[in-house]
Structure 1
Amino acid sequence: MSVQVATCSAAQLFSGGLLAGHALATDGVVSSSGSLIGGELRIPEYQRPYCWQDKQLDGLLADIQSHAERHTDLPYYLGSLILHQEDGKLNIIDGQQRITTLALMACLLDTSQPQFKELVYEHPISQQQIKHNLKWLKQRFSENAEKWQSLVDLGKLQFTLVITQSEDDAYRFFETQNTGGVRLGGPDIIKAHHLRAVEKVHQPQFAKQWEALGTLDCTVSALLKGRYWQGVRPRILPSHRQKKQVRDSIVAELAQQTGDGEDVGYGRIRRYAGLGGEVHLQADQQGYEVRQPLNAGINSIRYLSYFQRLYKHYWQHPDLPHLRGYQQFVEWLKGLEGCGYLQGLYEACLLLYISQFGESQLERAAKKLFRVVYSRRVSNQKAVRENSIAAFVREHPVLDWVALSYTPEQCFRFLDAFKLSVDPSNLETESVKKRYMNQVNRQFELQLDEAQYKSEFANALTCKVVGGEL
C-alpha cells in the first residue's frame, strides 16, 4: 500500500498549494516522505452529493468559535481528508462536506482565495444545497462580519491529507475510519504535522530520520501516560479501545498544542558552591524531559526520537552487558502473565526515570518501581482492569514521585514508603494471581510456601526490595 501523509491548512487548500508546479502554487504541501504533493482537487461523479444542513453548519461554526476563544494561538484540527491521486487529479474520497463548507465560507469571507473554483458540482442536490447554505452563511456572517472574519482564519484551520495511489486503498481508509482495520494512527498524523514545520530544505533529512524510528505507538503511549497522569494537572487518558479518542489525544498533545520556537531540551543543573562562594555548574541530563513543553518541527521530532531510542535500548531490545542484572530483570518482567495494563504504567515510569537519572542505580530503580506498580496484581481480588490503573495513579502518584525527585535516592524514598498489601482472594486455585506470586517468589528468592502468601508475601517482597538485599 502506497500512502502519503501531510498536514495542510485550508488556506493552502484553496490557494493552489496542492498544484505542484502550477503558477498558483505559492505554498506547496510536502508529504511525510519529503515529496511535494501535487494535483487538482476533484469530486468524483460517483460521490454522494453535498448535503450538509443548517445543523452541521451551526455545529462547525460553534466548534471553530469555541476553539478560537480557548486556544487563540493554536490551529483548529478538522480531521483527515482522504484523496486518491490519479492523472494529475486529487479525487476527494472523504472530506467533501467539510471542504465544500469551508469553500463557501471562503467565498463570503476571503475573496482573495481563488482555488475553490476548481471544484465542480454537477449534482442538482449539491447545487441546491450550496445555494441554501450560501444564503444561510451570509445571513450568519452579516450579524457580525468583523467577528467571523477574524474567527474563520483559513490559515489556522488544518487538515491531515491521506493520499493514496490506489482507489481501493483510499476506500479502505475511508471505510475503516471509525471501525477496525487500516486506520491512520496518531503518530502518523503528528509526523506530517512536524515535518511541515521544518524548513523545506531540511524536510527530506528529517523525513528519513523519522522513518528510521520504526513504530512509535508504544513510546507515544508511555509519553502520554507520563504527561497526562500528573498531580498538578491530571487529565483523563482514553481507553485503548477508544481508537479515535486516543488518536485525538495524541494529535492534541504532541502536535496541535506544540508551540513555535527552537529545539529546546529541558533538564536540571546541579550548582556546587565552594567555601569562597565560587559556583560550579554540572548538567547531568543530556536529552529531554517527558513533561516538558514542545515546539513544532525539529524540537518535537528530536524529542520523540530521543524517547524512542530510550525505549528500544532499555526496554524493547536491551543489550546491556554492563547492566546484566537490570536486563535479566526486565526480560523476566516482560514475560509476566495478565499484567499488560500494569506494564504500560511501568514503561512510562521507566522512561521518566532513565530520562532524569540515566543508568544510575537502574537495577535498584527497576525493582523498586516494580514493587509499587505491580502491586495491583496482588491487592486486587482478580483481574487488573484498565480503568483501575488511572485510579491507582491518582491514589499513589508514582509518576510524580519520579518526575519531582532530584536524585535517585529521593525517588527511592518515595517508592519505599509505599505500603504493599495482598488481598487473600483467589489464592486457593491455580489462578493468574497465584501463578504471578509463584513467579515473583522464585525471581526474588522469597523462599515462601504457597500457604504463606496471604500473610507473608507483601512483607517478604518489601524486605527484599526496600531492605537493601537487591
Structure 2
Amino acid sequence: MTVQVATCSAAQLFSECLHPGASFSADAIVSNGGVTVVGMLIIPEYQRPYCWQDRQLDGLLQDIESHTQRNAELPYYLGSLILHQDGGKLNIIDGQQRITTLALMACLFDPGLPLVEGLVYEHPISQQQIKHNLRWLRDRLDLVRNWIDFNQLQFTLVITQSEDDAYRFFETQNTGGVRLGGPDIIKAHHLRAVDKLHQPQFARQWEAMGSLDSTVSALLKGRYWQGVKPRKLPPHNQQKRIRDCIVSELAQGTGEGDDIAYGRIRRQFGPAGDVRHQADQQGYEVRQPLNAGINSIRYLAYFQGLHKRYWQQPDLAHLREYQQFVEWVKGLSGCGYLEKLYEACLLLYISQFGENQLEPAAKKLFRVVYSRRVSNQKSVRENSIPAFVRDYPVLDWIAASYTPEQCFAFLDGFTLKVDSGNLDKNGVKRRFMDAVCKQFGLQLDAGQYESGFASALHQKIVGERM
C-alpha cells in the first residue's frame, strides 16, 4: 500500500487551480520519500451529488467563527481529504462536499473566477444545490469574508496510488457535514467495480433509485435473520453499526463475477419426455449471493422497484384487494417494528413467487408477524422481534418453500395467542384489536377478545376452525 499523508491549508490546496487556465499542483504540499504528487482535482462519475444545504453551510460558518474568536492564532481543521492519484488526476474519494463549498466561496471572493477546472457537476441535484448555495452565501458575503481565511483552514491529505486503498480509508471515515450512510458507501464500492466505459450509465441508474434506506433495511433482515447462518442486526438507533452491517453484507462480502440472478424454476415433464419450464418471477432472490459491480447494482435496483411497487407506492389495479390491505397495514399505530419485519417477509415472498397468490399471502403473513401485538402484555420492543423470528422462523418458512401452498402450510400452522393484559383499556393493544376486527369483519365484543380473537382471525384467514 502506497499512501502519502500531509497537512495543507485550503489556500495551498487551491493555490493554482483557482486561477483561470491553471491546473492543480501539489508540489509544495505533499512529498514523501522523494515522491512528489502532481495532479488536477477531479470528481469521479460515481460520486454522490453535491448536497450540502443551509444547515451545513450555517454550521460551518458558525463553527469557524466560534473557533476563530477563541483561538485566532490556530487554524480551523476541516478534516481529511482522501484522494486517489490516477496519472495526472487526483480523484476526490472523500471531501467533495467541503471542497465544492470552499470553491463556491472562492468564486464569491473573486466574481470573475470560474469553478475549479476539474470540478464538473452534471447531476441536476448538484447544479440546483450549487445555485442555491451561491445565493445563500452571497446574502451573507460580509460574514463569509469576515471569518473565512483560506490560509487558516487546514486539511489532512491522504493520497493513495490504489483506488481500493482509497476506499478502505473512505469506508471507515466519519467526516463532518452530511454523514455518509451505508448506501452511499456501497454505491462507491460497486460503481468503481464497473468498467469506466459504463460507469456513467450505472451512476445514473443508482441516482434514479432515490433513497435506498428502507429497501436495504428490509433486505438486511431477510439476509441476516435465517436459521442456516443467523446474524444479529443492531438496533435502529445504532447508525454506525448498521452502516457497518450494510457495508459488510452488500459491499465487502460480495464476490467477483458476472451479473447472475437466482430463482426457482418449475420443470413439468410430459408423458413423451418433453419438459416445460415456468418461473413465478424473473428477477433476483433476497438471499442470493452477490457479485460486486453490475450484479449488486441491479439487485438493489430490482428490490427498490419491488419495494415501491408493492409497498411504498402501490398502484395495482389487478391486485386491488392486496393494495387496500397493505395500505391498511401501513396505517396501523404502535406497530413500527413489526411493520419492518412484515416488509422483509413480503419482499422475500415476492422474490420467490412473484404475484402468485399474493393477496392471501399478505394476510397470512400479517396473522403471524403481527401476533406480537396481541401476545405481548404491553408494548412491542425492538429486541423482541429477532427473538420472535428465532422462535418462529417466518422468513425461513418462506425461503424453504417451493410453492405458495407449502409456504401457507407453515403460516397456517402457526398458533396465535392472546395475552389478557390491558384488553380492557383504550391502549395501543386494544385499538389494534379493534382495527383488526373491523378490517376482517370479526363479530366479537371486547369481552370476547381473549377467548375468541385468535380463533376468529384464524378462521377468517386460514378458512378452518381451530
Q: TM above 0.5, one fold?
A: yes
Aligned-pair CA distance for 1:94: 7.5
Q: Structure 1: which amino acid aligns with 2:75?
A: Y
Specify which of 67, 71, 75 is matched with residue 46 of structure 1: 75
Q: In percent, how many aligned pairs have the same letter?
A: 62
Q: 238, 243, 257: which one pairs with 1:242?
A: 238
| CA–CA separation in structure 1 for the residues paired with 2:155 and 2:249 | 25
Secondary structure in 1 aligned to 2:419? coil
Tell me the SS of whatever aligns to 2:278.
Answer: strand
Q: Quick one: distance in 1 between partners of 2:344 and 2:393? A: 12
Tell me, yes or no, if structure 1 residue 396 matches structure 2 residue 392: yes
Q: Deviation at 1:279? A: 3.1
Q: CA deviation at 1:269?
A: 1.6
Question: Aligned letter for 2:270?
Answer: G
Which secondary structure state, in structure 1, belongs to the residue aligned with residue 364 of structure 2? helix
Distance 1:448 1:292, change over 3 A: same
8 Å CA contact retained: 2:78, 2:155: no
The one-character-per-residue Cα deviations of 1:346-389 (angstroms, maximum 9, x if unpaired) are 00000011111111111100000000000000000100000000
Q: Is the 8 A contact 2:375 2:419 kept in 1?
A: yes
Using a 3 Å threshold, how does the CA distance of structure 1 residues 226 and 416 change in structure 2: closer, same or farther? same
Deviation at 1:399, TM superposition (A): 0.4
Deviation at 1:441, TM superposition (A): 0.5
Which residue is equivalent to 1:174?
Answer: 175
Match for residue 32 of structure 1? Answer: 46
Q: Which residue number in structure 1 is paired with residue 366 of structure 2?
A: 370
Q: RMSD across aligned C-alpha pairs, in angstroms? A: 3.4
- 1:82 deviates by 4.1
Q: 1:343 aligns with which of 339, 342, 350?
A: 339
Match of 1:221 among 211, 217, 225: 217
- Answer whether contact 2:322 2:358 (CA < 8 A) is retained: yes
**CA spacing shift, 1:12–1:288, aligned 2, 3 Å:** farther
**Which position in structure 1 is the counterpart of 2:168?**
159
Tell me the residue number matched to 2:82.
none
Report the CA distance between 1:156 and its aligned residue. Answer: 5.5
CA contact (8 A) 1:81 1:95 kept: no
Shift of 1:25: 6.7
With 284-293 and 369-378 compared, the bigger mean Cα shift is at: 284-293
Alignment of 1:122-201 (within 5 A): 155=164, 158-159=167-168, 161=170, 174-175=175-176, 182-201=178-197
Question: SS state of the match for residue 209, structure 2?
Answer: coil
Please tell me whether residue 281 in structure 1 is matched to residue 277 in structure 2.
yes
SS at match of 2:411: helix
What residue number does 1:444 align with? 440
Report if aligned partners of 1:287, 1:306 keep a CA contact under 8 Å in 2: yes
8 Å CA contact 2:254–2:289 kept in 1: the answer is yes
TM-score between both structures, scaled by the size of structure 1: 0.68
Equivalents in 1 of 2:268, 2:192: separation in Å?
43
CA contact (8 A) 1:441 1:448 kept: yes
- Contact 2:43–2:118, Cα closer than 8 Å, also in 1: no
The structural deviation recorded for 1:416 is: 0.3
- What residue is the counterpart of 1:431 in the other structure? 427
Query: In the aligned structure 1, how far is the partner of 2:397 from the partner of 2:118?
Result: 55
Q: Deviations over 1:174-229 (max 9, x none)?
A: 347xxxxx421101111111111111111111111111111110000000000000
Q: Residues 34 and 429 from structure 1, CA distance in 2 versus in 1: closer, same or farther, beyond 3 angstroms?
A: closer
Residues of 2 paired with 1:228 and 1:95: CA distance?
37
Distance 1:210 1:457, change over 3 A: same
Aligned equivalents of 2:164, 2:207: Cα separation in 1: 28
Q: Distance in 1 between matches of 2:326 and 2:154?
A: 46
Instruction: Return the alpha-carbon distance in structure 2 between the equivalents of residues 265 and 25 of structure 1.
Output: 41
Given the alignment of the two structures, is residue 210 of structure 1 paired with residue 206 of structure 2, yes or no? yes
Q: Please tell me whether residue 354 in structure 1 is matched to residue 350 in structure 2.
A: yes
- TM normalised by structure 2 equals 0.69
Residue 258 of structure 1 contacts residue 296 of structure 1 at CA under 8 Å; is this kept in 2?
Answer: yes
Aligned equivalent of 1:132: none
Shift of 1:11: 5.1
1:328 equivalenced with 2:324 (yes/no): yes
Q: Sort the Cα spacing of 1:272 and 1:21 in 2 relative to 1 into closer, same or farther, 3 A.
A: farther
Alpha-carbon shift at residue 46 of structure 1 (Å): 2.6
Q: Which SS does the other structure have where 2:168 is aligned?
A: strand
SS in 2 for 1:281: strand
- Any idea what the Cα deviations from partners look like across 1:389-442, whole Å, max 9, x if unmatched? 000000000001111111110000000000000000011110110000000000
Number of residues of Structure 1 aligned to a counterpart in Structure 2: 353
**Alpha-carbon distance in 1 for matches of 2:309, 2:164:** 40
Contact conserved, 1:224 with 1:250, CA < 8 A, in 2?
yes
Letter paired with 1:288: Y
